[in-house]
Amino acid sequence: MKHLIEIFVEKNCRECEDVLLVVSALSDLDKWTIAVYRRENDVAIFRARNVVISPATFIGGTLMFYGSFTRDALISKLGLN
């Protein structure tokens, strides 16, 4: 079963780009489905999930991070350590 990582981003956001890089560097990407929502295209899901700060990262439907984070923090939240 694949697990879902959802990343909410905005254009011209350096922290958003950093988060996308950290997540894309996962060595176990085959175990994860990654969905990226962009505020300019996905307004409805931003509102439905009450996302007001970007980047926001949800894992398995639960908000895990607002802002950027390290690879180690992500691995810890995913239980890969």
Give residue-wise pLDDT tens across range 13-53: 999 999 999 998 876 767 888 999 999 999 999 999 999 99
Which tokens sit at 17? 């780009």
Note if the pTM is more than 0.75: yes
Three-state secondary structure call for residue 60: coil
For the chain, list the domains and their CATH numbers: 3-78 (3.40.30.10)
Q: Number of C-alpha atoms within 13 angstroms, CB side, residue 14?
A: 0
Dihedrals φ, ψ of 21, to 5°?
-65, -45
- Please choose, from the candidates 21, 4, 5, 27, the residue with its C-alpha nearest in 3D space to the C-alpha of residue 68: 21
